[in-house]
């Protein structure tokens, strides 16, 4: 899902960077208010976990591959804005140090996996979980669905970004200038991989992670979910 440089036109890639700068600003402000000092290690280790889980490429029949991201797990544990910062840092390191994902494309990649994915995942989790306990079956099913839908939301927006290039940017002779595959094909390929394989893996990682942290560090889950988790604000006012 890491878009390389050249796949997006500069007219697409640069606005995403411009968009992400204020988003990161808001994220830092939110985190400054809501994250506790003792939770910083959880965000740091969690983002390193996300970095590493993205290295586990899953083989896709037909010769492709895909991977889970771990962004929804972070969002559930620490809130979507903290997840945005954590996953963005992982993605920027991946681009600069490992050449995974483009540098011009950092804005788009951070938007997809560092913003859309944790936001969608977080609200899906809260919606399905309701007032259930963090370690209840309902909460773990909610975590699975949140991971599944969060990753697929990111995959869809990624496919739309590069697939649209084929139609929007063509040379005078009609040849595509950037990503050379039509939108329909890009969406079909990306969604089949993520709906069938990577999505369920993301769901499992998310549910297992919520279970593991809830079991071993119940205070972290309680902090985010039980105390401010009234349905009227979904814990948004207090804990996001």
Partner 1 sequence: MIGGLASMFKSFRKLWLVLGVLIVLSPLGLIATGTAFGEWGLDELMEEVGFIPAGLEKLADFWTRSPLPDYAIPGLDATLVQSAGGYILSAVVGAALVIAILSLLAKIVKD
Of 2-31, which residues contact partner 1 (CB under 8 A)?
2-7, 9-10, 28, 31
Phi/psi region, residue 6 (left: phi>0; alpha: psi -120 to 50; beta: rest), is: left
Confirm or reject binding of residue 60 to partner 1 (CB under 8 A): yes
Binding mask 120-149 for partner 1 (x = CB under 8 A): ------------------------------
# residues contacting partner 1 (CB under 8 A): 78
The burial of 184, by beta-carbon neighbours within 10 Å (0-12 exposed, 13-18 middle, 19 or more buried), is given as exposed
Asked if 87 contacts 113 with a C-beta cutoff of 8 angstroms, the reply is: yes
Closer to partner 1 by CB, 47 or 124: give it. Answer: 47
**65 pairs with which residues across the strands?**
59
- Minimal distance, residue 131 CB to partner 1, in Å: 27
The C-alpha atoms of residue 215 and residue 186 are separated, in whole angstroms, by 40
Provide the Cα torsion 54, 56, 145, 3; round to 10°.
40
Confirm or reject binding of residue 182 to partner 1 (CB under 8 A): no
- Exactly one of 58, 127, 196, 227 binds partner 1 (CB under 8 A); which one? 58
- Minimal distance, residue 60 CB to partner 1, in Å: 6
């Amino acid at each position: 899902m890491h878009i390389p440089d050249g796949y997006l036109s500069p007219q697409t890639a640069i606005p995403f960077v411009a968009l992400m700068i204020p988003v990161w600003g808001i994220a830092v402000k939110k985190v400054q208010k809501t994250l506790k000092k003792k939770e910083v290690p959880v965000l740091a280790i969690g983002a390193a976990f996300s970095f590493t889980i993205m290295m586990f490429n899953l083989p896709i029949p037909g010769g492709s591959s895909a991977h889970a991201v771990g962004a929804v797990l972070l969002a559930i544990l620490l809130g979507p804005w903290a997840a945005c910062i954590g996953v963005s840092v992982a993605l920027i390191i991946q681009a600069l140090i490992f050449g995974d994902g483009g540098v011009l494309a950092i804005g788009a990649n951070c938007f997809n996996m560092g913003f859309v994915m944790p936001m969608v995942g977080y609200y899906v989790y809260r919606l399905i979980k309701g007032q259930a306990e963090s370690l209840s079956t309902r909460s773990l099913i909610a975590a699975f669905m949140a991971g599944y839908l969060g990753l697929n939301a990111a995959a869809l927006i990624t496919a739309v970004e590069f697939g649209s290039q084929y139609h929007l940017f063509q040379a005078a002779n009609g040849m595509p200038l950037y990503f050379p595959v039509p939108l329909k094909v890009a969406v079909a390929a990306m969604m089949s991989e993520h709906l069938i394989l990577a999505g369920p893996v993301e769901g499992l990682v998310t549910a297992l992670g919520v279970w593991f942290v809830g079991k071993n560090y119940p205070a972290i889950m309680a902090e985010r979910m039980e105390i401010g988790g009234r349905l009227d604000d979904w814990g948004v006012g207090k804990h996001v």
